Amino acid sequence: MKHRIVVLGAGYAGAYAAGVLGRRLSPEDTEITVVNAEPDFVQRLRLHQFAAGQEIEAPKLTDVLAGTGVRLRVARVTAVDPERRVVEVADGEGGGEIAYDTLLYALGSRVADGGVPGVGEHAHDVAGRASALRLRERLDVLERRGEGGRVLVVGDGLTGIETATEIAESRPGLSVTLVARGELGARLSAGARDHLRRACERLGVEVVEHAEVVAVEAARVVCADGTVLASDATVWTAGFAVHPIAAASGLEVTEEGRIVVDRQMRSVSHPEVYAAGDALHVIGDNGRPLPMSCASAGYTARQAVGAIVGGLTGREVPRVKLEYVANHISLGRRDAIFQFIDGEGNAKPKCLRGRRAARLKAVVLKGSLWGTSHPTFGMPQRRLRVTVASAAFAERAERAAV
């Protein structure tokens, strides 16, 4: 009887974790399945580039997981039942249930409408490949018209800034407006804010500050002060939220629906469940909740894998640093900001700007893809035997013996 490990989601956290688990644990003792809605690995960090019209690599997950022994199930997760220890999925064949002894929840996040009417019906987003493709197709239509279509990007967080500047650079025939709820780049250092403004001016991005969007319509958005902004394509980047599956499952979650875990990424309510990436709530080394980010996905995935492997093999569980040290903001392909962050989560005066920062961001993007596709590079090839049965496995073995 093998210990069944199921990984939900194959983004930056899930794909890496599944690959490492497959390499580090003996196939004689474990059966590892990763469930993902798409057959490809999606570089979410580059979806704004994809939407702008660039070709972005999307390797097959079967290639990413080749040689690990991990099974790929292309299906959409519809529910998790931690009491029965099963996951419900839906696919082209009707779906079914997948049982587990250990679950790693890494379903990530999706766009949040903030309760604003019309976002779901009329706005585009770059939170997933399918939605980014729809935006790309809409921008293609606007360009073919040759009438200078108006693109409105709502939200001046990192995603909003990158999306607005990328579209403006890649599609100069379109008019791009960035709507900021407060001051543009308010969380950046003074030098970074100045550089951001100059970049927007250089690219022709109009910035509307101190504007709260309260409604999105087919050809315009309405602001709280009554201002109306015309739009041929509205892109919503004003926040992200986790999937509601975790909250519906009975796992202990925050008000936002993020799974509450301990320092080992283990659910505080259900010890057979671990989490990684955007879906969890964990306190970082600075005493503050770790933010949603690719860096956080990497840290939490490594810690979760270390805890699972250590727990099953009786080895010491490593302590991975949980830190957040910088923001990388692309401003088109040849410009960027690398903003350093202090221990309190605030911007340091120091930052990198311009082509040097753009080259560094390119290295980060390439490294994220390479690291996910080669999760066990440099690791020992010897696979570890399971020596400690989890409570779930022991209970299943006892039932089977009756």
How far apart are alpha carbons 122 and 100 in whole angstroms? 39
How far apart are alpha carbons 10 and 375 in whole angstroms? 12
Q: Is 206 exposed, middle or buried (0-12, 13-18, 19+ CB in 10 A)?
A: middle
**In the predicted model, is pLDDT for residue 281 greater than 90?**
yes
Nearby residues of 368 by Cβ (< 8 Å), 6 or more positions away: 12, 43, 45, 294, 298
**In the predicted model, is pLDDT for residue 55 greater than 90?**
yes
**In the predicted model, is pLDDT for residue 379 greater than 70?**
no
Residue 246 structure tokens:
């975790």
User: Which pLDDT value is given to residue 397?
Assistant: 66
CA 366 to chain centre: 16
pTM, two decimal places: 0.93
Q: Which of 188-192, 209-213, 386-390 has the weakest average pLDDT?
A: 386-390
How far apart are alpha carbons 343 and 287 in whole angstroms? 9
Average pLDDT over the chain, rounded to an integer: 92
pLDDT single digits (tens) 224-240: 999 999 999 999 999 88
Question: What are the two backbone dihedrals, phi and then psi, of residue 128, each rounded to the nearest 5 degrees?
Answer: -145, 160
Confidence class of residue 3 from pLDDT cuts 50, 70 and 90? very high
pLDDT single digits (tens) 131-154: 999 999 999 999 999 888 999 999
Residue 51 structure tokens:
């939407």
CB atoms within 10 A of CB 83: 8
**In the predicted model, is pLDDT for residue 402 greater than 80?**
no
**In the predicted model, is pLDDT for residue 192 greater than 70?**
yes
192 bridge partner residues: none
Cα-based angle 309, 311, 316 (whole degrees, multiple of 5):
80
How far apart are alpha carbons 194 and 189 in whole angstroms? 9
How far apart are alpha carbons 297 and 288 in whole angstroms? 16
> Which residue in 105, 61, 393, 68 sits closest to 247, CA to CA?
105
Cα–Cα distances in angstroms (integers) from residue 398 to residues 4, 162, 201, 360, 392, in the given order: 15, 54, 68, 54, 10
Task: Check: CB of residue 185 under 8 Å from CB of residue 326.
Answer: no
Q: Which of 47-51, 222-226, 394-398 has the weakest average pLDDT?
A: 394-398
Stretch 60-64: mean pLDDT: 92
pLDDT single digits (tens) 152-171: 999 999 999 999 999 999 99
